[in-house]
Structure 1
C-alpha cells in the first residue's frame, strides 16, 4: 500500500560524504575512522552500520524506496531506515537520530542481531558493513526527507516474501539478507499488536 507522504524541507541535508564513519574489524572492535565516501569506494572498507525495521499495529513493515540521488542502490526498495553511527556517537543515539532525520518518526527499538556483509553495486562502489539490526513499532505518519527517500509503503510479511521472490533485483542486498533472518529467527516482531 503506497502512502500519501508528508515531506520534510528539501533543504534538510542529513547525509554527507565527509561524515566520519567508524571502521571495525570482524569482531566489531573499532579500529579507526574514515569519511563516508571513501569507506564505500571499490570493494568498501568494513564499517559499522545499522538497519531499522518499523512495523505498524497490523504487523506490516514500512518500506522505503531510496532516493534517486543516492550513490549506492538509488531507487531500490529497502527496510524502513538504514545508516551509520558517526565518530563518537553511540548506536542508541544514531538509530533514533536517523529515524527522525529520514522519517520524522520516534519508536522504541529492540536490538535483534548483527551481521557482516559485502555487496558490490558497481566497479566504483560497494557496501562492506558490520550491521546492527533493530525492530520497532509506530503508527505515526512519516515525514519523509526527500534527499533520502523517494517512496514509502506498508507491506504484509507474506506479500513481501512473494514480491522478493518474484522481483529480487528491486530490493537492496542487505535488506534481503536481514529479512530472511528476521523471518527465520525473529517471528515475534512480525506479530500484529
Structure 2
C-alpha cells in the first residue's frame, strides 16, 4: 500500500500455468522451513518487485479453487502489509509479473463489477478478510486499511469471490505463523 491506501496490483505473467494475465496482490511467496510469513515476504520482495521493505503479518486463510481444466490452488496464505512510497520504482520481472498498477478500493470494486474473472481469487479473499486481522495491526495501519473495510467494498469483494469459488471453499485460519 501507499500512504493514501492504494494497493499495488501485479498482473501475473502470461507464462504462468494458473491465472496467467490475471491481476494479483502485490507479490507472493512460499515460506521455507525456517521462515515466517514475514521473513519469507521480505526475502521475496526484491525478487518480485526489485525493492526491499518491512512487512507486518495481518491474518492467514486457506482456500481451494480449480482453474479451468489446468489445475487448482489449495493453499494456506499469510496476508502481509507494508507501506511504500508511490514514487518507488517497481520492476516487472520476466516470468513473474507483466504489469504493475496502483489501485484504490473504490477503483478495484468498479473493475470487479465488470470483470471479476480478471482478478485472482486469493487476493480478493485476502482483502475481504482485512477486518479479521490482528487488532494491533488494524490500529497501526488504520488510516490505510479503513478504506478497504466499508460495506460497499465487502459486498463488491464477496460478489467477485463467488465468481471463482463458493464460500465453503475458503476460511480464515486463526493461529499465527
TM-score, normalization by structure 1 = 0.65
Question: Aligned residue for 1:148?
Answer: 96
Structure 2 stretches of 5 or more lacking a match? 148-177
**Higher helix proportion:** 2
TM-score, normalization by structure 2 = 0.70
Asked if residue 129 in structure 1 is aligned to residue 75 in structure 2, the reply is yes
**Higher strand proportion:** 1
- SS in structure 2 at match of 1:82: coil
- SS in structure 2 at match of 1:177: helix
Question: Aligned residue for 1:174?
Answer: 122
Give the Cα–Cα distance (whole angstroms) in 2 for the partners of residues 62 and 161 of structure 1: 15
RMSD: 2.1
- Matched residues, number: 138
Structure 1 stretches of 5 or more lacking a match? 1-54
Deviation at 1:102, TM superposition (A): 0.4
Q: Give the one of 113, 122, 127 matched to 1:165.
A: 113
Given that residues 63 and 155 in structure 1 are in contact (C-alpha distance below 8 angstroms), is that contact kept between their aligned partners in structure 2? yes
Question: Aligned residue for 1:78?
Answer: 24
Pairwise mapping of residues 103-142 of structure 1 onto structure 2 (< 5 A)? 103-139=49-85, 140-142=88-90
Q: 1:184 to 1:159 in 2, by over 3 A?
A: farther
